[in-house]
Amino acid sequence: MLAPLFFLLLTARSGATGKEFNQKPNFVLIIADDLGIGDVGCYGNDTIRTPNVDRLASGGVKLTQHIAAAPLCTPSRTAFMTGRYAIRSGMVSTGRVQVLLFLGGSGGLPPTETTFAKRLQQQGYTTGLVGKWHLGVNCKHRGDHCHHPNQHGFSYFYGLPFTLFNDCLPGEGSDVLWLLVLLFLLCILATAVWYVPFNFLSTWNCIIMRNQEVIEQPMTLETVFNSFLLLFRNVDRPFLLVFSLAHVHTPMFKTPQFAGKSRHGAYGDNVEEMDWMIGKITETVDSLGIANNTLMYFTSDHGGHLEDGNLKTGQKGGWNGIYKGGKAMGGWEGGIRVPGIFRWPGRLTAGKVVDEPTSLMDLYPTLKYLGRLGGLAVKQSDGYNLMPLLEGKVARSEHDFMFHYCGTYLNAVRWHPPGDSVFKVHFFTPNFFPPGAGGCYDIKICLCHGEYVTYHNPPLLYDLFHDPAESHPLTPDTEPRYAEILEQTAKAMERHKSTLTNKRASADAHTEILWRPWLQPCCGTFPFCGCKENSTDTYEKKLEQTASVY
């Protein structure tokens, strides 16, 4: 078996069993990439094997209405890290490009934003992030690292400062080259500026960093995850570990031990490999005797990418179960309803299921509460402490309203009035193609503006409690509270908009996406970037390199 993708080694002190709740707890947070809620056994899949995720759920609390703040990576991860809708920090955009497209752009999580990692670090926690970041690196010059994980509270970072693209695997095509054609039609100069970075995407974007050092450029997809070895020599202090998995984003990994073993091709193989990694992480926490003082959490950044696949390669995107839509599809449930599992033996009741609306943004206030993070007041927060709900002390979520964004556009509003019903109002929806399909198969990913959407007046209205698949819009004839629901959601939307203070122009946000050579991370002398991590480094040497961070 290959070395574990994310192997956690905690050299615990003798007698540090973590059984007393008056200690500050440890946090192990696992976030998958592009995983559909329907891909997991405990959420209804009976053909892909996920025994380790299922075991987390049976040993902890499973959330059935766990909602990402956006249906795409960059804004969703921004909201997860900050506990705030991404629009508050300007991490959204209009037009076609709604995520960070180049490592050499100036966009990223602003230094003025405070992540939960930063707060925990300030309170003495050891903090580490392994895997995907996708929230920017540099601002004004190569090496300022203003958006880097190290500047946002992670003492240790090892992984992908960007994300996986098909460009990272030769022969898989390009996820972004199609933009070149559109830009060419705008002007020859723009084409010239963009051609260089697109032509060398595997060099510019597909890299691995250890803290602020580029250690592999371009990375080798086949071997990269053998090197993701996180070694923490800790334990006089509580710790936060965020495992931000690259699975199951395309391109698909082809690890020999998993290739061809599932019933769903390469995608199923990757889900089962992801599950194995989660098993190794859980196994390590348990074997060290720290489970009773460690909150473990598993989720996905958003729903599966339905349109990713073809007749030759088969389906390469996830399955979102009964829920309509998927990645990049605004407020449709399939793009934002994700797995949500918490495990804490002795503190949380095993096998408990919570059907109330919850959010990835709830992690911030939950960790703030458990880590006893007093003092600095958070800016406008959009999440709530989940512990009363998880422990069964309350039966109802504090989320009366949730707001669903597609880029900068407020796409839908969810309202949970007293009772079982959860209403959702859609102001516009993406235009699926071909008509009647469940996705945008002509352009491969749905967009949020112009001719790509249809506005609804009156808005589309669904009751997710009775119609979770959003198949039967309500009307004044079928819903007695129809007028009240539209009125209440409209008022909530206005109250929400009044709290938005970020005035950064969308034009500025677009400019920050553009590639700038002087911001491009590089090992070697730019533009002659290239290096390979020494895969023969001994275990002891890697332990020494990591321990030196502390």
Residue 531 exposed, middle or buried by CB count within 10 Å (0-12, 13-18, 19+): middle
Active-site residue, from 66, 73, 302, 305: 73
Separation CA 115–CA 375 (nearest Å): 15
Q: Do the strands 229-232 and 352-354 form a parallel or antiparallel pair, or are they unpaired?
A: unpaired
CB-based contact 29:153 (threshold 8 Å): no
Q: Give ∠ CA 182-166-179 in degrees, rounded to 5.
A: 5
Neighbours of 479 (CB within 10 A): 17
Helix (H) and strand (E) counts for the chain?
A: 14, 21
Q: Which two tokens stand for residue 536?
A: 């023969």
Separation CA 340–CA 332 (nearest Å): 18
Residue 195, CA atoms < 13 Å, CB-side half-sphere: 8
Residue 263 exposed, middle or buried by CB count within 10 Å (0-12, 13-18, 19+): exposed
3-state secondary structure of 185: helix
- Within 97-175, strands assigned E span 126-132, 156-160
Active-site residue, from 66, 134, 152, 399: 134
Cα-trace Rg, the chain: 22
Active-site residue 134, yes or no?
Answer: yes
Length reported for the chain: 550
Q: Do the strands 524-525 and 528-529 form a parallel or antiparallel pair, or are they unpaired?
A: antiparallel
Cα–Cα distances (Å) from 115 to 79, 241, 371, 420, 483, in that order, read: 9, 14, 14, 33, 39
Separation CA 163–CA 298 (nearest Å): 19
Q: Give ∠ CA 39-42-43 in degrees, rounded to 5.
A: 55
Active-site residue 73, yes or no?
Answer: yes
- Within 391-496, strands assigned E span 401-406, 409-415, 423-430, 453-463
Neighbours of 497 (CB within 10 A): 11
CB-based contact 473:460 (threshold 8 Å): yes
Separation CA 315–CA 270 (nearest Å): 12
Q: Choose among 205, 315, 231: nearest CA to 3.
A: 231
Q: Give ∠ CA 230-119-75 in degrees, rounded to 5.
A: 80
Cα–Cα distances (Å) from 365 to 115, 128, 479, 525, in that order, read: 11, 19, 35, 43
CB-based contact 321:65 (threshold 8 Å): no
DSSP 205: T
Residue 421 exposed, middle or buried by CB count within 10 Å (0-12, 13-18, 19+): middle
Active site (catalytic) residues = 73, 134
